[in-house]
Amino acid sequence: MQIDGCLLPEDRLYDLEHDVWFRADESRGTARVGLLGPLVWFAGPFRSVTYRDLNGPIARGRSVATVESVRYTGAVRLPVGGEVVERNPAIVERPRLLNDAPYDEGWVVRIRPATREPTPAGLETASAVAPRLAERIRVQRIRCWPQTPDLELYEIGIECSAILTMLNEELRERPAGTAVLLVTDDPTSPIEMVRWADQTGHRLLATRREANLYQFLVRKEARPVPRRRPPT
């Protein structure tokens, strides 16, 4: 399921109060807990994850970790009571996993729930939370993208040719995999950005238009393969 471009997998349960998801693994009697996608996209690139040293049973709502991004610092709280049996070392070494794979490799903790109920109290299905989440996305103006931007370029009142020159200069100094969100009011930009992607071989991941503003998410490829020769 998607809500205004924000992914909401239907194979798990959600706790909107604490902005986390819960996915049970019946064969192991455990469940993984991670951050809700819209919170991740609102927060921007994460910089650090710090786990709390907790042992034994932990009540619902207790903090198990603190995450910090460029514009957000908050606690990761358990959606159900239980015991933490595993922490994800990958997100400590690479906090951006919270952004790049919030519903997969970016999980936060694995717990052994205190209850084995199919739907523990306080948790809801994707379809149940979708209307409220859609309203939150609208009110907070959350913009979900296939990849969290590392850099945002707002170029208003500038011709697209000059904008693309600046974009090329930025990408030249950045490592492969860098995602740039470009925002412009040039009405020719939708055509020019497709042409740019064909000529450079870098990926145009997504586009969006809001009123007179055009938004483009591009990614620098490690080995770009142009699909069209640049003009001579």
* Residues in contact with 114: Cβ distance below 8 Å, sequence separation at least 6, in sequence order: 57, 80, 81, 82, 83
Evaluate whether 220 touches 194 at the Cβ level (below 8 Å).
no
Confidence at residue 148, expressed as pLDDT on a 0 to 100 scale: 85
Q: What is the pLDDT of residues 94-109, one digit of tens each?
A: 999 999 899 999 999 9
Helix, strand, coil percentages (3-state) for the chain, rounded to 5, are 25, 35, 45
Confidence at residue 144, expressed as pLDDT on a 0 to 100 scale: 86
Residue written as tokens 């640049």?
A: 230
CATH number for domain 151-219, candidates 3.30.110.40, 3.30.70.520, 2.60.40.10, 3.10.105.10: 3.30.110.40
**What 3-state class would DSSP assign to 56?**
coil
Confidence at residue 184, expressed as pLDDT on a 0 to 100 scale: 95
Token representation of residue 145: 């993208």
> Model's pTM, two decimal places?
0.82
Evaluate whether 20 touches 36 at the Cβ level (below 8 Å).
yes
Beta bridge partners of 121: none
Q: What is the pLDDT of residues 20-69, one digit of tens each?
A: 999 999 888 999 999 999 999 889 889 999 999 988 899 999 999 999 99
Q: Cα angle at 152 between 147 and 153, to 5 degrees?
A: 135
Q: CATH 2.40.50.100 in the chain: give the residue spans.
A: 2-139
Low-confidence ranges of the chain (pLDDT < 70): 228-232
- Measured CA to CA, the distance from residue 67 to residue 56 in angstroms comes to 22
The top-level CATH class assigned to 2-139 is mainly beta
Beta bridge partners of 24: 31
Q: CATH 3.30.110.40 in the chain: give the residue spans.
A: 151-219
